[in-house]
Amino acid sequence: MKLVSAIIKPFKLDDVRQALSDIGVSGITVSEVKGFGRQKGHTELYRGAEYVVDFLPKMKLEVAIAADKLDGVIDAITESARTGKIGDGKIFVSDLEQVIRIRTGESGPEAL
């Protein structure tokens, strides 16, 4: 089992959710986060004063999947989140040792 975490631009969330749904991913967790990478934030002008926005708004998606679905999930996120501009995001993949469904007590791949 794998945990796929992706940081994407907020306006791409619906596209990514639809792409994951189309390949059979049944659930995702979404969080509003802030951060920066190579783009290092940007400057904005507000009422004549310039200020630096260090942390940019992003969305973090987490998807727990069976290991055999990994390539499809990565492709779906990459294709649907890509704009071709800096700040498109990152995908992180981690191993999941154990998953337990609280309601039924199921564990392992059945709990996904």
28-38 mean pLDDT? 89
Residue 38 has pLDDT above 80, yes or no: no
45-71 mean pLDDT? 85
Tell me, what's the pLDDT at 99?
93
94-98 mean pLDDT? 95
Which structural domain range is residue 73 located in?
A: 2-111
Tell me, what's the pLDDT at 24?
93
In this structure, which long-range contacts are made by residues 40-49, counting pairs with CB atoms below 8 Å and at least 24 apart in sequence? none
50-79 mean pLDDT? 90
For the chain, how many structural domains are there in total?
1
Residue 50 has pLDDT above 70, yes or no: no
Q: Which CATH number covers residue 58?
A: 3.30.70.120
Q: How confident is the model at residue 37 (pLDDT cuts 50, 70, 90)?
A: confident
Q: How confident is the model at residue 41 (pLDDT cuts 50, 70, 90)?
A: low
Q: How does pLDDT run across 74-87, given as a tens digit for each residue?
A: 999 999 999 998 88
pTM, two decimal places: 0.85
